[in-house]
Every structure is written in C-alpha cells, then in structure tokens.
C-alpha cells in the first residue's frame, strides 16, 4: 500500500506522570511540584490519552518500584475514559527490568507486536 503509514509503539515501564516517578530521578530532572508545577503538568501523558493514534503495547513489571503501577494503570484508565484502545501486558514477578527467561518472552512479545501491526 503506497502512502500508507501505520503507527505502532511499545513502552516498557513507562513514566506517564513525573509526579509519581522515583524521587531520586524525578526531583533531579523535574524538581518538585512546588518548584516546577507547570513543568510537571505539561509533561503528564494522562491528559493526552485521547490523542493516542495507532497501536500501543505497554509492558510493565507488577512489582516495579521505580516506575510504580500508578503510571501505566492511570494511563490505561484515561484511555478507557477516552474510548481509546491499547494493549497491556504485566509481568507479575518482575520489578522494573524483566530479566532471565521472562526477558526472552518480553522480547518475543515486542517482536510479535511489531510483526503483527506493521
């Protein structure tokens, strides 16, 4: 199909809203709500959920203490409210980095997602 472009993306443990991000990095790069409220508001993806086009797969470790579940689940909730479809896959026994045998599964999932949607 000439001229046809399909948008596909995969996000692993995505930072959706800096106000929930791990303090060490969050405050280093974005300061605090008191010192950079406007910056934090502008970078939140939650209000942009309705703008999502194409296909998106979010994968996240269920016990991620760096990018807590509140990030991705709040985005999923916003997408539901906006009537936007997305795909979501949790790794129940993993923190921020999916490791070991499950990493092979994750990489195959990502590869399959692009193969199936491009």
pTM of the model: 0.89
How many distinct structural domains can be found in the chain? 1
Examine residue 61 and state whether it is found in any structural domain, yes or no.
yes
Note whether 35 and 19 are within 8 A (CB): no
Each of the 118 residues of the chain gets a pLDDT tens digit; together they read 455 556 999 999 999 999 888 888 888 889 988 999 999 999 999 999 999 999 999 999 999 999 999 999 999 999 999 999 999 999 999 999 999 999 999 999 999 999 999 9
CA distance from start to end of the chain: 12
**What was the pLDDT predicted at 62?**
96
**What was the pLDDT predicted at 1?**
44
Which residue range forms the structural domain that includes residue 58? 8-117
**What was the pLDDT predicted at 105?**
98
Examine residue 52 and state whether it is found in any structural domain, yes or no.
yes
* CATH classification at residue 111: 3.40.50.1820
Report CA-CA distances (Å) from 74 to 45, 47, 68, 79, 102.
Answer: 10, 10, 11, 9, 25
Examine residue 2 and state whether it is found in any structural domain, yes or no.
no
**What was the pLDDT predicted at 19?**
87
**What was the pLDDT predicted at 63?**
96
């Amino acid at each position: 199909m000439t001229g046809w472009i399909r948008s596909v993306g995969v996000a692993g443990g995505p930072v959706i809203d800096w106000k929930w991000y791990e303090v060490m990095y969050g405050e280093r790069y974005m300061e605090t709500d008191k010192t950079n409220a406007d910056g934090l508001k502008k970078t939140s993806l939650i209000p942009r959920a309705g703008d999502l086009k194409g296909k998106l797969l979010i994968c996240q470790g269920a016990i991620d203490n760096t990018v807590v579940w509140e990030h991705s689940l709040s985005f999923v909730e916003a997408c539901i409210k906006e009537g936007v479809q997305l795909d979501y896959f949790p790794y129940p026994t993993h923190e921020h980095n999916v490791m070991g045998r499950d990493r092979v599964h994750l990489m195959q999932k990502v590869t399959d997602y692009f193969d199936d949607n491009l």
